[in-house]
Amino acid sequence: MSSKKSLLKIIILGDSGVGKTSLMHQYVSKKFDNRYKATIGADFLTKDVEINGQPVSLQIWDTAGQERFQSLGSAFYRGADACILVFDLTQADSFSHLSMWIDEFQLQAGVRDCVLIGNKVDLVEKRAVSQKAAVTWCQNKGDNVKYFETSAKDSTGVESAFLAVATQALNKKKSVDEDMVMPKPIDLNKKQTTQKKEGCPC
């Protein structure tokens, strides 16, 4: 397996307050902060992992969910390998907005790879979106969109969801690299048409 480290840019998308920042911090540093603070623009953290023997550096971008910041998106989407779509299991509106987020990502980034996260599974008594509804949404989107239910608070499902999107993005990147057309080799033994200058030592 190649020892060269791959860099993957993963973007977390979803409405404001669904737990995007908390998920990122729980995955990268195993920390959870109960205090809510809206993300301004975008922020990112990095984490080095190994996927099937391949060293990978994940660059995880957390984008603001507020509409007034969405115009900043194009710069943050650029170069993205995949995205994590997040909705709040206790807020039906955040689920209904998912199609808007994935359409925007595919338009701006030009890639379709993503996983879906239903966050705040620890608040089971307040649940407003069923697992069946989320799975059906993924099936309707096609492209093998995987669904995970997580809790940024107690870390349930967080590791699995991030590993899934990273694996998906890495496999896609390898496939693209393998399909790249190599440039036509130059025959160094072939007689050159350009005449050498007299006295040139080369």
Question: What confidence tier does 123 reach under pLDDT thresholds 50, 70, 90?
Answer: very high
In the chain, the number of structural domains is 1
% the chain with pLDDT above 70: 75
Residues 6-60: tens digit of each pLDDT: 999 999 999 989 999 999 999 998 887 766 555 555 678 899 999 988 999 999 9
Q: What is the model's pTM?
A: 0.80
CA angle 92, 28, 10 (to 5 degrees): 65
Domain span including residue 54: 6-179
- Residue 12 resides in a domain: yes
CATH number at residue 175: 3.40.50.300
Has residue 189 been placed in a domain? no
Per residue in 158-199, pLDDT (tens digit) is 999 999 999 999 988 877 655 444 455 555 665 555 455 555
Is residue 196, in this structure, part of any structural domain at all? no
* Average confidence score pLDDT of the chain: 82
> Does residue 39 form part of some domain?
yes
Is residue 118 situated within a structural domain? Answer: yes
Kindly state whether residue 191 falls inside one of the protein's structural domains: no
CA neighbor of 89 nearest in space, from 167, 172, 23? 23
* Cα-trace Rg, the chain: 22
